[in-house]
């Protein structure tokens, strides 16, 4: 089994446990679900920019840049028009491109994401509440974290340890606030 198959199966397990929605055949998303999934991705992109910006001013400038990038992407997509491909083909093409860009970002950072994926999966599986179920935000549909999640499952300290291990194995020092 390849790593990507393993990761796919882990995310499949997450959805089976958290919301029971694991289709058995390829099916396109409806617009509401696409927008919810896009919202989740946008939130993570904003967190990436926030983690990188050195000041509030730099962060605000970066957010303005993202708004402009969104406007450019809208104009580019509308100018191309519909290609006649199926909705499912278009959705899958876009999501694969997102995966490719994400893996490319890890390559350009020199970070092996696979062991970190394991840590994040473990943390995500900790989102089951004491009643044995996942709870969802009524507006966004996002899975909520139980009260003990930060204490018992938050992955940041373990991610730092793994990055320190990767840095040490490459001959570099441990992480500091600048890297």
Percent pLDDT > 70 in the chain is 94
Q: Per-residue pLDDT tens for 107-159?
A: 999 999 999 999 999 999 999 999 999 999 888 888 999 999 999 999 999 99
Of 4-13, 54-63, 167-176, the range with the highest mean pLDDT is 54-63
Coil vs helix vs strand at 55: coil
How many Å is the Cα radius of gyration of the chain?
A: 19
Rounded mean pLDDT, 73-97: 90
The DSSP element (H or E) to which 143 belongs, if any, is: none
d(CA 112, CA 162): 10
Q: Per-residue pLDDT tens for 92-110?
A: 999 999 999 999 999 999 9
β-sheet bridge partners, residue 136? 143
Tell me how far the alpha carbon of residue 140 is from its chain's centroid: 16
State both tokens at 33.
């679900």
Ranges of each domain in the chain: 112-178
d(CA 49, CA 98): 17
Half-sphere exposure of 113 (CA within 13 A, CB side): 16
In a 10 Å sphere around its CB, with 0-12 CB exposed, 13-18 middle and 19+ buried, how is residue 127 labelled? middle
């Amino acid at each position: 089994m390849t790593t990507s198959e393993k990761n796919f199966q882990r995310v499949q397990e997450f959805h089976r446990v958290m919301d029971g929605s694991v289709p058995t055949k390829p099916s396109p998303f409806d617009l509401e679900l696409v927008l919810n999934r896009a919202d989740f991705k946008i939130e993570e992109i904003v967190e990436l920019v926030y983690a990188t910006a050195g000041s509030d001013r730099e962060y605000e400038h970066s957010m303005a840049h993202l708004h402009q990038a969104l406007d450019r992407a809208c104009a580019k997509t509308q100018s191309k028009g519909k290609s006649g491909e199926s909705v499912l083909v278009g959705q899958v093409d876009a999501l694969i491109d997102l995966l490719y860009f994400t893996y490319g970002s890890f390559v350009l950072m020199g970070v092996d994401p696979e062991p970190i994926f394991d840590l994040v999966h473990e943390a995500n599986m900790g989102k089951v509440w004491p009643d044995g179920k996942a709870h969802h935000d009524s507006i966004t549909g996002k899975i909520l974290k139980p009260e003990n999640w930060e204490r018992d499952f938050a992955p940041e300290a373990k991610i730092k340890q793994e990055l320190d291990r990767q840095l040490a194995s490459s001959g570099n020092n441990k992480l500091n606030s600048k890297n």
